[in-house]
Chains A and B, each alone.
Chain A
Amino acid sequence: MPTPVFELKDVSYYYLDKIAAVRDVNLEVAPGERIAILGANGSGKSTLMHILDGLLLPTSGKVLAFGHELTEQRLEDSEFNRFFRERVGFLFQNPDVQLFCPIVWEEVAFGPLQLDLPREEILRRVEDVLDMLGIRELRDRAPYALSGGEKKKVALGSILPINPQVLILDEPTNGLDPRTQQWLIELLEELHLAGKTLITATHDLSIVEEIADRVLVMNERHNVVAEGVPSDVLNNFDLLLEVNLIHEHAHRHGDIVHHHGHGHFFTHDHPHEGKQNDEP
């Protein structure tokens, strides 16, 4: 069996040592896998993503990346740091954080430049990625002047030239219009076929089946409460209700008021005439 990309053993993270963000998470990620971490706002998905990228170290528990434990000492070792950073790319939730260079071209070149790749190789990778993402015309633009969708594309473009084996994506479809969202899903599919490992944190239930083969669900107490294939998890109504990913919803059809679960993923699956059994 190949070495797992990530192994998390009883990982917990507390802000200021008292505010829990992640509690007792155990997780193993195999190379090439597609995993979605589902959870409501504030469930700790984002913190977990930061832990996976070695930006935060767990308050307790262990994180192993490619068989090596992530520790402060190890991440400060420049050899290991480069080994790790070349293999793991992180798409931040807020592209304004991720795009810190004066122009798009430099943004895309930043990563491979840090890896000390030869100049010709850097230039080639930058051009390839600009073409792959269809952002060639943005190359001389300043990141602050871009639209939300363009920023997301450039943020992805800032990671891809490093050619990481693992991509960690924090709410990648947040704030994207439907077309860009579809574009992103197709790109993730393309990357999956190229053998990349994809770990996506999201609360967008409508994309889960397209971007993941395995789903982990986090509740608002910051624990992982369920794990399974997307279809099983998405059809587990009680579970999704419990972790606040869908909500009891009241609305009116003529004279009848329904109370039923309602999430992005679910459509009405109840008859619309006669008395409902969930009516008061």
Chain B
Amino acid sequence: MTPKWMISNDQAVALPSATPGGKRGRRSFLEKTLWQLASVMQESVFSEAYASAPGLLQTLDPRVKFATLILFLTVTSLVRSIPVLVSIYLFTLLLAQLSRIGLPFFIKRVWLFIPLFAGIIALPAIFNVITPGEVWVPLIHLPRAYSWGPYHIPEAIGISRPGVMGALVFVCRVAASVSLVVLVTLTTRWDRLMKALRVVRIPQVFVLTLGMTYRYILLLVKLVQEMYWAKKSRTLRFSGVKAEQGWIASRMGALFRRSLQMSQEVHGAMRSRGFDGEAKILDTFQIRLRDYAWIFTSVLLFGLLFWLDRYL
């Protein structure tokens, strides 16, 4: 039997006036976080398009790519000459271009990380308090120099030449390294990259687990988003910080329970298909002529960069 009130169309909330006069709805912290999570998900799908583009790096065997990445990372962390580091960076730009990765996208992706990873560390190092040496830009003059054990504060505090050079080398090194890593991750599908880890003797069970983690994180993110939407579609007004926090905590619990339950079911599905605890992975990797050409080029470059670093 349909209740009487359900048949009537009386609504408790009247239509607001034409210009919105109420409190402006602001995106909550939670909503922003969820949007970011969702965009990470979309991005991972989006960047898979790069991995399947017919570019230079995409056609290489992932194991070869992974091994040469390590080679280039080694040379990047050992050389000290700024021109050499800059050339490595320019080389990554060239590779990006040849691998059909949009340069603006690639550069933005790399330089977004630099201030975060390198800036915070490099910034203090430019002052002569940390890196002593010839002062370029004096900032503060103290009445005298102070010394406590190994610590020494000079009379004139400022930006030092060796400090700036050191920071520059550091930033260049980080930029080149991050570019190399981004290049490899963008041009290799996640699952193939995981399998390529076997080159450095990562056990199969880790590779399998990593692959599954990635797969289910995306599913759980979707679940979180749906829970949030379900709530939002029934929310008429802000219920207060405390209630919101309570809701988030309860959803975290629910999500944890759901993922536990799911892990049991997934384990059942694995057993059902013959999994007995021993991970087995099949790869269809094949080293071809172009891979040998790439290895040859990489080793040659590796030597050349060391040589240049020595004599520049």
By a beta-carbon cutoff of 8 Å, the part of chain A in contact with chain B is: 50, 53, 55, 78, 81-82, 85-86, 88-90, 92, 94, 96-103, 106, 109-111, 113-116, 119, 122-123, 140, 142-145, 158-159, 162
Given known A102-B191, A103-B191, contact A111–B273 (CB-CB < 8 A): yes
CB atoms of B274 and A142 under 8 A apart: no
Q: Which of B212, B214, B269, B280 contacts A113 (CB 8 A)?
A: B280
Question: Is B121 among interface residues, defined by CB-CB distance under 8 A?
Answer: no
Are B274 and A50 in contact, CB atoms less than 8 angstroms apart? no
Given A100-B269, A114-B274, do A143 and B189 touch, yes or no (CB 8 Å)?
A: no
Which residue of the partner chain, among B189, B212, B272, contacts A85 with CB atoms under 8 Å? B272
- With A100-B212, A102-B191, A102-B211 known to touch, is A114 a contact of B266 (CB < 8 Å)? no
Q: How distant is the Cα of A116 from the Cα of B48 in the complex, in angstroms?
A: 31
Neighbour of B52 across the interface among A111, A116, A140, CB < 8 A: A140
- A144, B280: Cβ atoms closer than 8 Å: no
A94 to B190, CA, bound (A): 24
Q: Does B218 contact A (CB under 8 A)?
A: yes
A92 near B274: Cβ-Cβ < 8 Å: no
Nearest opposing residue in chain A for B218, CB measure: A144
Q: A102-B211, A103-B191 are in contact. List 6 more A-B contacts (CB 8 A).
A: A81-B276, A85-B272, A116-B280, A142-B218, A144-B215, A144-B219
Chain B residue nearest to A78 (CB atoms) is B276
CA–CA, A92 and B273, complex, Å: 11
Please give the distance in Å from A250's CB to the nearest CB on chain B: 11
Contacting residues, chain B, for A86 (C-beta < 8 A):
274
Residues of B within 8 A of A123 (CB): 284
Cβ distance B50 to chain A, nearest Cβ, rounded Å: 14
Let me know if A100 and B266 touch, CB within 8 A.
yes
A202 CB, min distance to chain B CBs, angstroms:
19
Of all chain B residues, which has the CB nearest A84? Answer: B274
A111 adjacent to B265 (CB under 8 Å) = no
Name B274's contact: one of A102, A115, A122 (CB within 8 Å).
Answer: A115
Q: Is A55 within 8 A of B272, CB to CB?
A: yes
Contacts of B143-193 to chain A: CB distance below 8 A = 189-191
List residues of B (226-278) whose CB comes within 8 Å of A's CBs: 262, 265-266, 268-276
Q: A101-B211, A144-B219, A162-B274 are in contact. Are A106 and B269 (CB under 8 A)?
A: no
A-contacting residues, B72-127, CB 8 Å: none
**CB of B289 closer than 8 Å to a CB of A:** no
Is A96's CB under 8 angstroms from B219's CB? Answer: yes
A81 touches B282 (CB 8 A): no
Taking the closest CB of chain B, its distance from the CB of A249, in whole angstroms, is 15
Query: What's the nearest-Cβ distance from chain B to residue A241, in Å?
Result: 21
CB neighbours (8 Å) of A116 from chain B are 280
A-side contacts of B268, CB under 8 Å: 50, 55, 92, 97
Which of A89, A96, A99, A114 contacts B275, CB < 8 Å? A114
Interfacial chain A residues near B262, Cβ < 8 Å:
96-97
Asked if B215 and A102 sit within 8 Å, CB to CB, the answer is yes
A140, B269: Cβ atoms closer than 8 Å: no
Smallest Cβ-Cβ distance to B280: which chain A residue: A113
